[in-house]
Structure 1
Amino acid sequence: MATDQQDKYERFKALHQRAGAFVMPNAWDAGTARILTAMGFEALATSSAGFAYAVGKRDSRAVLTRTEVLENARAIAEATTLPVSADLEDGFGIMPETCAETVTLAAECGLVGGSIEDATGHADAPIYEMQLAEERIAAAVEAVRGKPFLVTARAENFLWHRHDLDDTIHRLQAYAAAGADVLYVPGLSDLRDIRTICEALDRPISVSMATVTPSFSVEELGAAGVKRISVGSSFARAALGAMMRAAEEVLEQGTFTYAKSAASGATLAEMMRADKPGART
């Protein structure tokens, strides 16, 4: 592994060990990675949904291949000096050995972390059976043992309307026992539940503020015990929402006032400069 990747890994690990919570926003291409780097964030995640929208596809394992996702993640990692952790879906396969292969490939792309979720993608049985889910995380952890890579285990119950706090905690405890470095629980909307989960686990807890209502501040989440905060696809959807509002103004009013709030070309050019900190080397 390259020295640069080892350095990114050490910085990434340190973020999970220091006091308080940090925000790890989700870039969806090299350009957004450079922008977020220039704006002062300390680590980045990828967004499979944001990437899918950018290439005209739905956010679905059925239409985004592992190769596509990893090549996009590689471009993001190469575009920034920041640590990058990838959204690796369900590991792109059911079997533990597939999850192991996926994280190995992710590490070879220059990533210093990646998440494996326990959702199957099937509405009739949305969450993997407990033993298999644990084996999948254990295989991923073993595959990158000794490498500069943090494995994040995602418990997806709340995203699939299974509001079972006890089962979620049980799963997270099993994933921690399997060796997961970080535990991620998207979809939580109750600060008491977040606090209960943080108190029950001995690993850094990650949550998402992508679609949660009500929304909580970084300070509130840190006080509850959260270590890492993701924005999921919300930055990508916010960008697309701004474009749609601009297009609606042109179509419906025939005016172009939206340009007043657009980022300037000079600002973006400065952020994309090859000699800036976020540039490829």
Structure 2
Amino acid sequence: MPTQSTLATTFRSLHQSGLLLLPNCWDAGSARLMAAQGAPALATSSAAVAWALGYGDGDQLPVAQLTACLALITRRLEVPLTADIEGGYSDDPAAVGATVAAVIDTGVVGINLEDGRSPPALLARKIEAARTAAERAGVPLFINARCDVFLKGLVAPEQRVAETLARAELYRSAGADGLFAAGAREAADIAALVAGTPLPLNILALPGVPKADELTRLGVRRLTSGSGIAESVYARITTLTRGFLAEGDGAALSADALAYGELNTLMG
């Protein structure tokens, strides 16, 4: 197994050129499956992790449950893992720093921290606390600052690029390594964001977002699936369960299914 330091160095290097396609897992099993498809690194989706553990998204997941989940994922994972930790599960930067230290202890080498509807200055203080925690742990943690200006429509459309870039500079000064402009869809906006910050730009794969080739041309460095894969999986679970309860038909359960032996070998 690679050391955490090696994984951290590898993960950082994946943002230096080209486009990192980063699937979002939610438990050890989904992580094993995704890594087996050739993913060079993985991320967690905060929503998908919360759902898998029976909680809603939005700072509802207890930190102890989060770190237990992350430790299970990294136990046999041989590629870097970055964890979405929402807003750090607290408005107290010191508490966020303690959470980041606990997350690092699980073997994670990157985090997402988001501003949401909170003042940008608050996220900057959280980033500073996260960087301090990483330095104390001796891990070159990749801190990805998620800016929700586009995703939550925090300002008028014509102001979103400028507002995002202003926040990006604040977050970069606080110690962020990347900018996650979640919700940005238009090629012109994405190009302006790339040109306006030295931080590698992360885009969320949503309907209307350019595909990988175009994002690469625009200079985007990271594309994440977010909760999209988990949402599709849960839709499939719902469909299969409804059909089983209605008809008890085992044939439908086997259609498009991975074989028991294949799954068991992968996990075993």
Deviations 1:151-203 (A, max 9, x none): 11111122222242211111011111222111111111212111111111101
Extract unaligned runs of 5+ from structure 2. none
Alignment partner of 1:110 out of 107, 110, 121: 107
Which residue is 1:230 aligned to?
A: 224
Alignment partner of 1:195 out of 191, 198, 201: 191
Extract unaligned runs of 5+ from structure 1. 120-126, 274-281
Deviations 1:192-216 (A, max 9, x none): 111111111101111111xx22142
Once the two structures are TM-superposed, the CA of residue 32 in structure 1 deviates from its matched residue by 0.9
TM-score normalised by structure 2 residue count: 0.91
Contact residue 112 and residue 149 of structure 1 kept, 8 A: yes
Once the two structures are TM-superposed, the CA of residue 56 in structure 1 deviates from its matched residue by 2.3
Q: Which amino acid aligns with 2:3?
A: D
- Partner SS state of residue 143, structure 2: strand
What's the RMSD between the two structures over aligned residues?
A: 1.9
d(CA) in 1 for partners of 2:54, 2:63: 17
Alignment partner of 1:29 out of 23, 27, 30: 27
Deviations 1:48-102 (A, max 9, x none): 211222222221313x111111211121111311100001110111122222222
Which residue is 2:181 aligned to?
A: 185
Alignment partner of 2:153 out of 161, 170, 185: 161
d(CA) in 1 for partners of 2:47, 2:2: 31
Contact residue 182 and residue 206 of structure 1 kept, 8 A: yes
Contact residue 86 and residue 114 of structure 1 kept, 8 A: yes
Q: Which amino acid aligns with 2:228?
A: S
d(CA) in 2 for partners of 1:70, 1:207: 25
Once the two structures are TM-superposed, the CA of residue 144 in structure 1 deviates from its matched residue by 1.3
Once the two structures are TM-superposed, the CA of residue 254 in structure 1 deviates from its matched residue by 5.7
Matched, 1:216 2:215: no
Q: Which amino acid aligns with 1:27?
A: C
d(CA) in 2 for partners of 1:11, 1:41: 13
Deviations 1:14-61 (A, max 9, x none): 1112x2101111111111111111111000111221122222222131
d(CA) in 2 for partners of 1:3, 1:263: 29
Moved more, 168-177 or 49-58: 49-58
Within-5 A mapping of 1:56-67: 56-62=54-60, 64-67=61-64
Once the two structures are TM-superposed, the CA of residue 3 in structure 1 deviates from its matched residue by 6.6
Matched, 1:248 2:262: no
- Partner SS state of residue 111, structure 2: strand
Contact residue 131 and residue 141 of structure 2 kept, 8 A: no
TM-score normalised by structure 1 residue count: 0.87
Once the two structures are TM-superposed, the CA of residue 251 in structure 1 deviates from its matched residue by 4.3
d(CA) in 1 for partners of 2:241, 2:106: 37
d(CA) in 2 for partners of 1:116, 1:219: 27
